[in-house]
Amino acid sequence: MERNLLDNIEEILLMGPGPSCVPPEVYRALARPTLGHLDAYFLTIMDELKILMRRIMNTENDLAVPVSGTGSAGMEACFVNLLEPGDRVLVLINGVFGARMREVASRLGAEVEVMDFPWGTPVIPSLVGEKLQDGDYRLLAVVHGETSTGVANPVAEIGALPRQDDCLYLVDAVTSLGGMEVKMDAWGIDALYSGTQKCLSCPPGLAPLSFSPRATARLNSRRGKVPNWYLDLSMIVDYWGKKRVYHHTAPVNMLYGLYQALEIIFAEGIEEVFARHRRCHALLVRGLEELGLRMVVDEPFRLPMLNTVYCPTGVDEAAVRRRLRTEHRIEIGGGLGPLAGKIWRIGLMGHGAVEENVGRFLSALRATL
């Protein structure tokens, strides 16, 4: 019998931009017996999962579901359900994932306008406020934690800006959810999506998503059908709601995993989880600066769970990453777009955000450099 390639998978310390390390309890949850997606006991788990999702998003929204797909599926689900051809959209861009928002909205026939901000710097709310007064926008979109740069955008301040009544506010919380405060209702967010593979410490494969009553009303008053059948929330909510109408076969075991991952977060205490991310971030930054390395983002705007640092002049950043992986079994990420070849992206996400991992990484990086 030929060897099974899975037998040779090593345990790698995942300290890149995602996926993140998975707790043993989540692995055990994934290995539980698979139930049917309409099984009565599984439906009970689904109901509890919705409660946990609302809790971590700080929302009372009725529409809160995990989309079957990665964070990018959550992004597309928001745009495809809320936009129709000709709708005016304002996208705030300071990295790869803001640019991806523009691409998705453009493919749907929306009239997309953008505000570009330098990579490594945050969106400036006052400028956004001026722009909102000039246009009749149906949607305003921004990334909370820009994974390509390590910037935390001021989504609460942006949400407080005056805008027309029919302008919905969409936020990408793929990197931020579970690692820092996200207050969907208090910040005026109408549509929010995330991913399981970062601070939630679950394998990639689900995209927690929620719509406010305003966003749900937009969905229900569309002029035409949602163009993407698989991501049509008007049908998906009938499966996640009281009707339990079959739409697609839910990834049962992945939903077990997300349920367990959220249980772990709340057992630790959400405020302690946030504080742990901040402590590890501060320890990492201090260690990097002691090595003579320079952070990409100014201190007030840094994400605690995704740290970006410039590669020293004359050092092959990809070679350093390869050596960290092969010699120390540690994975970090490289730069994207204009930052490709210039920076490293170091993740401290969820289960992986512990001081022991910071020390191990710094020792390995010191030896490699």
At a CB cut-off of 8 Å and minimum separation 6, what does 222 contact?
84
**Rounded mean pLDDT of 262-275?**
98
Pick the CATH number of 9-19+269-368 from 3.30.1490.20, 3.40.50.150, 3.30.470.30, 3.90.1150.10: 3.90.1150.10
Name the average pLDDT for the chain. Answer: 97
The domain locations on the chain are 9-19+269-368, 24-266
Question: What integer pLDDT is reported at residue 202 of this predicted model?
Answer: 98
At a CB cut-off of 8 Å and minimum separation 6, what does 361 contact?
13, 15, 284, 330, 332, 346
Question: How far, in Å, CA of 320 to CA of 167, rounded?
Answer: 46
**Rounded mean pLDDT of 347-365?**
98
**Rounded mean pLDDT of 62-89?**
98
Burial class (CB in 10 A: 0-12, 13-18, 19+), 344: buried
Question: What integer pLDDT is reported at residue 230 of this predicted model?
Answer: 98
What is the percent of the chain where pLDDT is above 70?
100
Q: Assess whether pLDDT exceeds 70 at residue 37.
A: yes
Question: What integer pLDDT is reported at residue 1 of this predicted model?
Answer: 57
Question: How far, in Å, CA of 118 to CA of 112, rounded?
Answer: 19
pLDDT, one tens digit per residue, over 320-337 is 999 999 999 999 999 999
- The C-alpha angle with vertex 227 and arms to 224 and 233, in degrees rounded to 5, equals 90
**Rounded mean pLDDT of 136-140?**
97
CB 353 within 8 A of CB 277: yes
**242-to-62, 116, 182, 237, 259 alpha-carbon distances in Å:** 12, 43, 28, 9, 19
Question: What integer pLDDT is reported at residue 135 of this predicted model?
Answer: 82
Question: What integer pLDDT is reported at residue 134 of this predicted model?
Answer: 84
Class (C level, CATH) for 24-266: alpha beta
CB 350 within 8 A of CB 178: yes
pLDDT, one tens digit per residue, over 12-33 is 999 999 999 999 999 999 999 9
Model pTM greater than 0.95? yes
What is the percent of the chain where pLDDT is above 90?
99
pLDDT, one tens digit per residue, over 108-127 is 999 999 999 999 999 999 99
Give the DSSP letter of residue 221: T
pLDDT, one tens digit per residue, over 187-204 is 999 999 999 999 999 999
Backbone angles phi, psi at 53, to 5 degrees: -65, -45
